[in-house]
Every structure is written in C-alpha cells, then in structure tokens.
Amino acid sequence: MEPAEFIKKKVNHKYILDARQQQKDLSYFIQGSLQEEITIEYLRVWSNRKYASDNKFLNWVKLVFKTENFLSFYKYLRNPVASAKLVNDDIKPQLRRVFHADDSVFKYSVKGIEETCHADLNSKQFDEELFNAILFDHNSVVVQDIDIESKRYREIVPISKIVSVDCDRDQINKIAYYSCLELENSSIHGFSYIDKDQYIFFDRDYNIIVQSFHDLGVCPADWVSSENMFQENNVVKKSIFSYALPDFEEYVFLKTLQRMTEPNGAIPVTVQLNAKETNPSGELRKGLSKEPMSSAILGAQTSDDTNPIAPSESDIQAGSIVKVKASKDVTSGKVDMDVVRNYFQFHYMPVEALNYLNERIKEIEKMILSSMIGDIAEQNEAAKNEMQVSKGYDSKEDRLRWLSNELSRIKQLSDFKTLALLHGKDKVSVEVFFGTDFFIESVDDLYKSFSLAPNAIERRKILKRISQTRNKHNLQQAKRDTILYDIIPYVSDKDFSTAMSTEAQVDPVVFQLQTRFDYWISIFEAEYGQIELFYEGLGEMTESTKMITIKNLLKNIIQNEQKSFSNA
C-alpha cells in the first residue's frame, strides 16, 4: 500500500477512535479539567436533551437521577474532580520512587566510548515525559524524528493525532499522524508518514513536501505502553488506571453527594406554617428611591415610587420575632401550644446516612490507592505483624516493578533508535533498566533490621540502605553517605567493641580513623575537596580501586600527623 493511500484508508481507524475515547474517559478522572461557569438555564436545556454527551460519567448520573436532582448534583460537582486530586497528590508521588532504585542500570556505548548518559538524549527531561505519558497518555507513541538544526530528535505523539497505524503486538510497522512542517516564513499543516525505510511529510492534499530515508531497518516509532487492553486489537493499550475506572466513578459520585449534604448541616431544610405575613413588602413609602444613596435619601427630593427591592422578610434569621395567632383546643378550651412549638420544623440528614457515606468513601479511596500503589494499610494501622508488613511491601514493589519494566522498555527502544539514527546502528549499544529495589521500607524498619543483623557485612548494607532511603530526593548526599560508610572501619559500636576485645586488638591508624572519623574526613576534604567529588574524579577506576586509593590517602594523613606530633 502506497503511503498516501495508507493515510487515506485510515488503517485501524475504529480502534484508534476507541483508544481516544478510552483516553478521554480516564483523563476526566485522573487529570480533571478547568471549572466551567455554566448558567442554570443552559444546564437545564442540556439535561433535558434526549441524546448523550461525550462525558460518560455525566451521562450515567443523568440516567440515574431525574432532572431536578441531576441539576442539583451538577451544581456541586467541581473540577478538577476529587479523583484527580487523589491521583496527583497521593498516587503519582509514590510511583515516582521508580526513579530512585538502588540497582538501576544505564549504559551507553557510542563509537566505542562508554558512558552512563549521552548528551544527545536529554535524558532527565525525556524520562519525565515518558513517566507522565505512561500515567496520563498511555495510548501515545514515541517517534524518533531527527532534526539536526533544532537538535530535536524525538517527540511523544498523542493518540488524538494518529490517523492511521499498522502494528503488531510488539512493534509499529507504519504510522501516519497529523503534524505541522515549520518553514522559514510559514507553516504547512498536513501528515507525517513513517515506516521502516523513510519519512514523508504530506500536505492536506496528499502532495509530498519532504521525503527522507533512514537505514534503521525498523519503524522509528513505538507505543508508550506495551500491554494491550483487548486481545482483538493492538491499538488500545492498558493503563495502570484502566480497571480502576468504575471505582473512580463511584468515588467522584459519592464525594459530590457528600458535598451536597454539607450545606444541609448548616442550613437545614425548614418547614413553616403558612401563616399571614406580618410585614408585607412593597407598600408605598415616601422619600425612598430605587437607587441606593440617591438624592432622595440625601434629602434633595422625595419620591412616591413603590420600592421593589425590599430587604429579606424571612422569619428564619437571628433577631426575628415571630407572632403566631393563638388558637384554642375545641375540647379543653386551652391554647393549642403545638402550633407554637411546630411553627418551624427543621430537617437534617440522618446521622446514619452521613456515617455510611463517609465510611464508603474511605473504603473506595483505600481500594483505589491499594490497586495503584499497593497495600497502604501498614501505613495507617498500628497493629501489624511481620508477615502483613512484608506483604504490603511486596505489593508496592509489584506496582513499581511493573512501572520500571514499562519505563525501561520504551526508554531503551527510544534511546537506541535515536542514537542509531544519529551515529549508525552498528556503532551504538544501549542498556537501560530502572531497577527493582525502591527502598520501600521505612527508616524505622531498617533500624530494627540493623539491630537484628547477624554480622558486620549485613549491618553495613543496611546502613547504606538507610541513607539511600532517607536521601532519596538528595542523590548527592546519598552518594556521599555511601562512600563514608565504605570508608569507616566499623559501622557499629558492637563491631568495634568486638574488634577491641581480640588479642591483636586494632591497628593504631584504624583506631584513629574509627574514633576520630569526622576529623580525619574534614582534613582529607580540606586538602582534596569534597570526598564524593574526589571519588567521581577518579574516572574509570573500579569502585574497589577508588576506595583503596581514598583509604591510603587517609592513612597517609593520619600517619603524617602522628609523626609531626611525635617530633614536636
């Protein structure tokens, strides 16, 4: 099939439309939208329409409620909806742990030069874009489209722009999407077509404007998400939020109902006897004009206008004096006090209904959080045995490992194809892995493990883990602590006491380093600079060689100072 025909035919168009709708349905709950100001008249017309809108949630609420109740519900539904707050404030920050794994691997080799991050990739920014795409735009496609002049090498194309796509389960063979070609003095809107051999830009009339070829051997485009939502097609992808959609709907529905009940607590529904008004408004009053602070009020002139802007004459306000005509009971002849007592009746929401609503909302919120980031119960419940805590950690790690696999896959594909297009596929190798160890345990749990550790090797490992957990948002400090924990001879008083009790005891230099550790590190840094920067400056040495080098320099500093004291 020729490229222009491929675009016109709109291959897999039905599934593309399904993916767009799926994306829109999820986006409403996980990202929200700006709050619109809509008049009640417009809303009433909309609610009385017989056809559905493109918002499935509101269609469902409209189907459940009669018109007046739907209008009341809509007035209390505020955007961004409650579930969007839950996703962005509670779920997303927890999932960001994927960037802080202890065992992550990033290795690049370009023309024989090995490095951990290549400058052409702009990795930090692109990793953030990939992370957000997996969460909020999971049906999108990453396209490697090299623009040397602007140094733009790739973009994430949303499903809303895709026109035609031919794909297998694991790869895209051909793709066309809406795009814009920027020229020096103008812009041309049209279609970008990509396959395993070429790039073509067509204008709206399907004329070829630009055509270029590549030798990658595969199409330089990949789905952001790897898992299909359905077996019958390879276009609609699975999101981490896909199966939580019914829970999001119920959560937003109940949170809105809860918001509707709150005014009823402060301003209850009131029933009043239909008694004759004591102060009817609208009577003729001299000396009052319709306008506030008018000349009539100031005394310049008078008016006989009827005042239609009367103050509130409601009896239900502080300071009101309500007069009820006394009526007598026919049988006893006494004044009927029930009329006085029941002149006003106040109606509140039943406490049982409010309690049910609160508990159900908490239950759904817990279900959503658990399905997104694992079992969070151990954070909120005091009584937990070791097995329950371990199970909670495992469920969290399962979610993060899934996200790590998704990120690792798409980043490795994109990084390799970008570098291969820039430098040649035979001159490039890429290894990307975001890791599996995400420091799920709390610092308190790690300190307990430290105290129970069976030997010095395990204690040193746990101490490093404590530092990395505590400094997961300060990677430079975590790196520094790790180096220091490798340098200090004994990481616990228990190990040092054991060493001192032996017959050989401890070497004097080691004793000095252990007992005056901070002092010797400060002397070292005064001469060589910050220890973590010095460590990194040792270049291509192995880690063990770097540590031996630093320890030997510290040993020399200690011995030289001891000599100077002995010679003094």
Evaluate if residue 306 carries a pLDDT over 50: no
3-class SS at 79? coil
391 part of a folded domain? no
**130 vs 98: CA distance, rounded Å:** 12
Would you say residue 558 lies in a domain?
Answer: yes
The model carries a pTM of 0.70
For residue 304, pLDDT over 60 is answered with: no
Torsion of CA 133, 139, 144, 149, to 10 degrees: -60
Task: Read off the pLDDT of residues 260-278 as tens digits, 9 standing for 90 and up.
Answer: 887 766 666 666 666 555 4
Supply the pLDDT for residue 439: 64
Residue 468 has pLDDT above 80, yes or no: no
- Output the average pLDDT for the chain: 81
Q: What is the dihedral of CA 495, 500, 503, 507, to 10 degrees?
A: 100
Instruction: Name the token pair of 556.
Output: 């020399």
pLDDT, average across residues 75-80: 86
pLDDT over threshold 50, residue 291: no
With a CB cutoff of 8 Å and minimum separation 6, the contacts of 250 are: 364
467, pLDDT greater than 50: yes
Q: Which domain holds residue 562?
A: 443-567
The answer on pLDDT for 221 being more than 90 is yes
The helices-and-strands tally (H runs, E runs) of the chain is 22, 13
Output the pLDDT for position 235: 95
The whole-number average pLDDT for the span 506-512 is: 88
User: Is the residue at 506 inside a domain?
Assistant: yes
Does 520 reside within a domain?
Answer: yes
Please check whether residue 137 lies inside any domain of the structure. Answer: no
Least confident span in 134-138, 387-391, 506-510: 387-391
- pLDDT tens, residue by residue, 325-342: 667 766 776 766 666 666
pLDDT 10s digits, 182-203: 888 889 999 999 999 999 999 9
Q: Residue 122 and residue 152: Cα distance in Å, rounded?
A: 10
Q: How far apart are CA 269 and CA 219, in angstroms?
A: 65
395 band by pLDDT with thresholds 50, 70 and 90: low
Split into its structural domains, the chain has a count of: 1
Mean pLDDT lowest among 223-232, 235-244, 367-376: 367-376
Among 218-232, 262-276, 525-539, the least confident range: 262-276
Would you say residue 398 has pLDDT above 70?
yes
The fraction of the chain above a pLDDT of 90, given in percent, is 42
The Cα-based distances of 121 to 140, 213, 412, 479 in angstroms read: 19, 21, 11, 24
- Amino acid 196: pLDDT: 94
In the chain, what is the straight-line distance between the N-terminal and C-terminal CA atoms, in Å? Answer: 91
Phi, psi of 565 (to 5 degrees): -70, -40
- Give the residue from 84, 403, 137 showing the smallest Cα distance to 248: 84
What is the mean predicted confidence (pLDDT) over 11-38?
88
CA distance 158 to 156: 6
Q: Cβ distance 203 to 105 under 8 Å? A: no
Does residue 474 belong to any structural domain of this protein? Answer: yes
Q: What local confidence, expressed as pLDDT, does residue 282 receive?
A: 46
Decide if pLDDT at 297 tops 50. Answer: no
Q: Could you tell me if residue 204 is inside a domain?
A: no
137 vs 283: CA distance, rounded Å: 64
> What pLDDT does 269 receive?
64
